């Protein structure tokens, strides 16, 4: 097979990149190691930044998002049961949209197939070769047959556990990371959310987040130990803790638990995001803790920058944007890293915190909810910094 851009991974990054390239007349092939059913039902992110929702509409994949997405002009910050509303409309005149990542993935898959594909599922044994040549190659197996794609560029959109980042030669990649001494236990429940907007709730018992997928389906998270065993959390125990961490500020309706799981919390950046003709985008290059809701949005920003660089290369034979791709992405990535780390450290209880840390954290929350200037800074970052 031969194409201009070989895309590894059909998550938000790979699928959005394929759509951007299609609109620019650049050919691509996507290969994905999971099934279509698997990627369309993987429950993950739910919050889309202002510019990213607009972009999905602009790219022709936003019809359902416009109909079914929940537009939010603010969030609630709970401090030991007392709720403070941050009004994004007044602070920054921007919004976020609640729309499940798997719904974005479904919409992009439908569009990809309408664009004529190709999109190969359930590939195996993927490897990348000749990265510093002008014709890098992707090898893999599909339906038990060995295949290869010859291309001009490879887009590594294969997530944190993919093969692209580990394919950088030794010494060509530097990692910056931080682990957190807790995780998030998340459930999806058939019950209305406790508020029409999100509640980020700090309590002495730990953090909880009350978000949603619709007016009748809630997505609820609890801070838990980093090595927590989900078997220790019966539905009753989860509901009991969710009630306690809401602190009586709102009524929490219980419902059938449709899904539950534990997410580890990590900050991670690999630099640079390119080697030869292999370019990384999204979780393959960086991970943020979910507190700031930045992961999927960063993946979208990366592929916008990559598609612009590829367009300049193909239409003007200009390589500067490609050369500067990593630096361009990383400026945004590090600001999102800082924001996600900051949100995480003000909202969670740390097992090793000192009395000083605790008082400082409460002062941070008090300042955030008492100062329009502090609230505006959060709002600006939460709805998504401008792309340029």
Q: Mind telling me the catalytic residues?
A: 72, 200, 290, 294, 382
DSSP string across 106-123: HHHHHHHHHTT--EE-S-
CB of 357 to ligand PHB, least distance (A): 22
The yes or no reply on residue 337 touching ligand PHB (CB under 6 A) is no
Task: State the Cα–Cα distance between residues 118 and 137, nearest whole angstrom.
Answer: 17
The yes or no reply on residue 142 touching ligand RFL (CB under 6 A) is no
Give the one residue of 159, 193, 289, 384 binding ligand RFL; rule: CB under 6 A. Answer: 159
CB of 351 to ligand RFL, least distance (A): 21
Task: State the Cα–Cα distance between residues 57 and 66, nearest whole angstrom.
Answer: 8
Q: Which residue is nearest to ligand PHB (CB)?
A: 46
Task: State the Cα–Cα distance between residues 336 and 333, nearest whole angstrom.
Answer: 5
The yes or no reply on residue 46 touching ligand PHB (CB under 6 A) is yes
What residues have CB less than 8 Å from 269, skipping those under 6 apart?
175, 176, 177, 285, 286, 330, 333, 334, 337
Task: State the Cα–Cα distance between residues 368 and 16, nearest whole angstrom.
Answer: 35
What residues have CB less than 8 Å from 298, skipping those under 6 apart?
282, 286, 288, 332, 333, 336
The yes or no reply on residue 293 touching ligand PHB (CB under 6 A) is yes
Write b or e for each residue in 23-33: b if 16 or more Cβ atoms lie within 10 A of its Cβ, otherwise e.
eeebebbbbbb
Query: With CB cut-offs between 5 and 8 Å by kind, which of ligand RFL, ligand PHB, none does residue 291 bind?
Result: ligand PHB
CB of 149 to ligand PHB, least distance (A): 34
The yes or no reply on residue 5 touching ligand RFL (CB under 6 A) is no
* Residue ranges in 281-300 that form contacts with ligand RFL under rule CB under 6 A: 282-283, 290, 293-297, 299
Total chain residues near ligand RFL (CB under 6 A) = 35
Q: Residue 323, CB half-sphere, CA atoms under 13 Å: how many?
A: 4
The yes or no reply on residue 78 touching ligand PHB (CB under 6 A) is no
Task: State the Cα–Cα distance between residues 185 and 175, nearest whole angstrom.
Answer: 27
In 3D space, the residue among 213, 265, 238, 216 whose CA is nearest the CA of residue 43 turns out to be: 213
CB of 314 to ligand RFL, least distance (A): 23
CB of 284 to ligand PHB, least distance (A): 20
The yes or no reply on residue 53 touching ligand RFL (CB under 6 A) is no
Give the one residue of 72, 106, 112, 219 binding ligand PHB; rule: CB under 6 A. Answer: 219
Task: State the Cα–Cα distance between residues 218 and 88, nearest whole angstrom.
Answer: 22
Reading the block at residue 315, the tokens are 């239409």
Task: State the Cα–Cα distance between residues 382 and 387, nearest whole angstrom.
Answer: 13
CB of 134 to ligand RFL, least distance (A): 23
The yes or no reply on residue 12 touching ligand PHB (CB under 6 A) is no
Nearer to ligand PHB, 160 or 314 (CB): 160
Query: With CB cut-offs between 5 and 8 Å by kind, which of ligand RFL, ligand PHB, none does residue 53 bind?
Result: none
Give the one residue of 18, 22, 46, 306 binding ligand RFL; rule: CB under 6 A. Answer: 46
CB of 58 to ligand PHB, least distance (A): 23
- Applying CB under 6 A, the span of 40-48, 257-265, 348-356, 359-367 interacting with ligand PHB comes to 40-48
**Dihedral of alpha carbons 307, 50, 334, 287, sign:** negative
Residue 66 to residues 41, 69, 98, 298: CA-CA distances in angstroms? 20, 6, 11, 21
DSSP string across 24-86: TT--EEEE-SS-HHHHHH-----EE-HHHHHHHHHTT--HHHHHHPEEESEEEEEETTEEEEE
Query: With CB cut-offs between 5 and 8 Å by kind, which of ligand PHB, ligand RFL, none does residue 296 bind?
Result: ligand RFL
The yes or no reply on residue 330 touching ligand RFL (CB under 6 A) is no
What is the contact surface with ligand RFL in residues (CB under 6 A)?
Answer: 8-14, 31-34, 39, 44-47, 101, 123, 126, 157-159, 162-163, 186, 263, 282-283, 290, 293-297, 299
């Amino acid at each position: 097979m031969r194409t201009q851009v070989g895309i590894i991974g059909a998550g938000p990054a790979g699928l959005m990149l394929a759509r951007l390239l299609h609109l620019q007349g650049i050919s691509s092939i996507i290969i994905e190691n999971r099934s279509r059913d698997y990627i369309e039902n993987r429950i993950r992110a739910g919050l889309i930044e202002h510019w990213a929702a607009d972009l999905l509409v602009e790219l022709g994949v936003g019809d359902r998002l416009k109909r079914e997405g929940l537009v939010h002009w603010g969030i609630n910050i709970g401090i030991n049961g007392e709720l403070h509303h941050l009004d994004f409309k007044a602070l920054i005149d921007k919004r976020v949209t609640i729309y499940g990542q798997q719904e974005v993935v479904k919409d992009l898959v439908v569009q990809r197939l309408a664009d004529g594909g190709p999109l190969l599922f359930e590939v195996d044994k993927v490897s990348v070769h000749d990265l510093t040549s002008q014709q890098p190659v992707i090898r893999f197996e599909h339906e038990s047959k060995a295949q290869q794609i010859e291309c001009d560029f490879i887009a590594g959109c294969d997530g944190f556990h993919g093969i692209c980042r580990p394919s950088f030669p030794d010494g060509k990649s530097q990692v910056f990371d931080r682990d957190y001494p807790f995780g998030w236990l998340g459930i999806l429940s058939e019950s209305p959310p406790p508020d029409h907007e999100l509640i980020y709730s700090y309590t002495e018992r730990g953090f909880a987040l009350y978000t949603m997928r619709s007016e009748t389906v809630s997505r609820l998270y609890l801070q838990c130990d980093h090595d927590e065993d989900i078997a220790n959390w019966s539905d009753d125990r989860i509901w009991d803790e969710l009630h306690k961490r809401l602190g009586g500020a709102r009524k929490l309706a219980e419902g059938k638990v449709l899904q539950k799981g534990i997410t580890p919390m990590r900050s991670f950046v690999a630099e640079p995001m390119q080697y030869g003709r292999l370019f990384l985008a999204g979780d393959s290059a960086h991970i943020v803790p979910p507190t700031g809701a930045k992961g999927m949005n960063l993946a979208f920003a990366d592929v916008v920058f990559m598609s612009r660089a590829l367009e300049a290369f193909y239409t003007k034979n200009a390589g500067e944007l490609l050369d500067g791709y990593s630096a361009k992405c990383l400026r945004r990535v590090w600001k999102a890293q800082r924001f996600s780390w900051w949100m995480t450290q003000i909202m969670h209880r740390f097992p090793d915190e000192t009395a000083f840390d605790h008082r400082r954290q409460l002062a941070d929350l008090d300042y955030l909810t008492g100062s329009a200037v502090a609230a505006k800074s959060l709002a600006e970052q939460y709805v998504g910094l401008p792309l340029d």
